Amino acid sequence: MTEIAKALTVAGTDPSGGAGIHADLKTFQEIGVYGMSVITSVVSQNTLGVKSFVDLELDFVESQFDAVFEDIAPDAVKSGMLSTPEVMASTAKKLKEANVAKYVLDPVMIASSGHALISETARETISKELLPLATVVTPNLPEAEALTNRTIKTIDDMKEAGRILVEGYGAKAALIKGGHYEGEADDYLYDGQTFEKFSAERFDTKHTHGSGCTYAAVITAGLANGKPLYEAVKDGKAYITAAISNPLNIGKGQGPTNHWGHRWSDVQSTIKV
Ligand SMILES: Nc1ncnc2c1ncn2[C@@H]1O[C@H](COP(=O)(O)OP(=O)(O)OP(=O)(O)O)[C@@H](O)[C@H]1O
Ligand SMILES: Cc1ncc(COP(=O)(O)O)c(N)n1
């Protein structure tokens, strides 16, 4: 009997359902992989912003990893909000102990509402502990700037940041996302050999809360399903573009993306919208 692919997300929570663990699990379910989660921080946030968060005790985070790994081997792992150097180091340790071969590192630093989700000192730990384990790292522009200590103003700067993350810090590949750039929503993937561009029209919408989480979750699900990285990113770009271009108009602020967006016309005929 064939087994369904399994993906694990290591991240923080969003009670309003658009980002973090919630976005990841919804996405895994939509793609058709079995979703699991290790929660690092409980965040009080909604579409208007982050109010506060509590980091779970390190022992308890590690205990969640052990609970998953002693029972079920994920085919791919994604990490999002890891707010302290200690939880980053623990995550690195647990991924190594479990011989996780496919790891998507979304280096979450600041929520789109402007709130810091990691401590200042944590940036160095991402580079030292996590980048060398990453199958792909998926920074947005401010995250790519922080990780490479460079200002990014042009497409060439984006590509150079990708090169540094791979050749300088040891990630197998880097996907530099252009959501914060001008013009088209273009992202650049560098795998140590070539650059691939993933392009989409930029939609005039405020409903992009959790778009980075969702995109990385599709990539993780694709890798869990055995797809090559290029195909997983291509699917991710199509999924996130559909999720952004079919907004649900939920919440008073920057609303969530639409996790049904990729099959929206089918869904609209079966549920009440
Ligand atoms: N207005 C938009 N229209 C189309 N695509 C967009 C738009 N905004 C972002 N994207 C795309 O969404 C994906 C996520 O990009 P972004 O650079 O915004 O990541 P992020 O900042 O980590 O996301 P977030 O913090 O909102 O979760 C990328 O593929 C980007 O090109
Ligand atoms: C738990 C958690 N993880 C990640 C994000 C980033 O998402 P966004 O930048 O869209 O707010 C978030 N807001 N909350």
Q: What letter does residue 51 receive in the DSSP assignment?
A: E
Q: Is the CB of 208 under 6 A from ligand 1?
A: yes
Q: What is the pLDDT of residue 192?
A: 97
User: Phi then psi for 189, rounded to 5 degrees?
Assistant: -105, 125
Q: What is the pLDDT of residues 248-270, one digit of tens each?
A: 999 999 999 999 999 999 998 88
Which atom of ligand 1 is closest in space to residue 108's alpha carbon? 22
Number of the ligand closest to the Cα of 13: 2
- pLDDT reported for residue 119: 80
Q: Is 80 exceeded by the pLDDT of residue 2?
A: no
- Is any ligand 1 atom within 6 A of the Cβ of residue 179? yes
Whole-number Å distance, alpha carbon 66 to ligand 2 midpoint, is: 25
Amino acid 182: pLDDT:
82
pLDDT at 66 over 70: yes
Q: Looking at residue 110, what is its pLDDT?
A: 86
At residue 117, does pLDDT exceed 90? no
pLDDT for the residue numbered 89? 96
Coil, strand, or helix at residue 195? Answer: strand
255 close to ligand 2 (CB < 6 Angstrom): no
Task: Please report how the helices 229-245 and 20-31 are oriented relative to each other, as an axis angle in degrees rounded to 10.
Answer: 110
ipTM value: 0.96
d(CA 205, CA 113): 15
pLDDT band at 123 (very low <50, low <70, confident <90, very high): confident
Residues 126 and 85: their CA atoms lie apart, in Å, by 8
Dihedral sign for Cα atoms in the order 122, 55, 216, 70: positive
Q: Does domain 6-267 have CATH number 3.40.1190.20?
A: yes
Percent residues over pLDDT 70 in the chain = 100
**Ligand located closest to 111 CA:** 2
Q: What's the pTM value of the predicted model, to 2 decimals?
A: 0.97
CA dist., res. 23 & res. 14, Å (int): 8
Residue 60 in contact with ligand 1 by CB distance below 6 A = no
pLDDT digits (tens, 9 = 90+) for 30-54: 999 999 999 999 999 999 999 999 9
The pLDDT tens digits for 140-191 are 999 999 999 999 999 999 999 999 999 999 999 999 999 888 889 999 999 9
Calculate mean pLDDT across residues 227-245. 98
- Which residue, 30, 94, 19, is CA-closest to 62? 94
Q: What is the pLDDT of residue 161?
A: 98
Q: Can you give the pLDDT at residue 1?
A: 64
